[in-house]
Amino acid sequence: MLYFIAATAILSSLLVSGCGFSHDEHITGPYRLIAVDIDSQMSICYQNQDGGAVGRINETVFSYGFNDRFIVAKQHPNNDRTVTNYFFLDMTNDSEYADPSGSVTGPLNKKQFEDASEQLRLPKFSRTLKSLE
């Protein structure tokens, strides 16, 4: 948890300071797929009204999908491509200054994600960054 807080603080301060991005892609609503310096830092973030962003699903996110309620993501933790984690974010439980632990579920393995997907009718993955897959 301490790593997550530190990473979020660093990402937020870099975003507020106006540094360029390696990647910045709108997902839906206030959610963005952002890599600050290099693509292996790809994370799903919540963009604040002041233009900063707070991490929701940390690096390395390489695939996502969404519907009106959920964002789903596949992630290689710290770009370790031998491991694939699955996450889902319930946007109805999230807000600008909310603790992500209240809206983000994961990391899950493939079976756990498939079970949750069936139960909650999670969206399909609709965007994959092949270079990070």
Reference 76, options 118, 52, 106; nearest CA is 106
- pLDDT value at 21 more than 80: no
Per-residue pLDDT, 20 = 62
Computed over every residue of the chain, the mean pLDDT equals 88
Query: Any bridge partners for residue 61, and if so which?
Result: 75
Per-residue pLDDT, averaged over 29-44, amounts to: 95
pTM listed for this prediction: 0.83
Per-residue pLDDT, 97 = 86
Per-residue pLDDT, 52 = 87
pLDDT digits (tens, 9 = 90+) for 62-119: 999 999 999 999 999 999 999 999 999 999 999 998 999 999 999 999 999 999 999 9
Cα separation, 14 vs 101, in Å, equals 22
Q: Give the containing element (helix H, strand E) for 93.
A: none
Cα separation, 117 vs 133, in Å, equals 21
Cα separation, 95 vs 47, in Å, equals 10
Q: With contact defined as beta carbons under 8 Å apart, do 116 and 108 qualify?
A: yes
Beta carbons within 10 angstroms of residue 13's beta carbon? 11
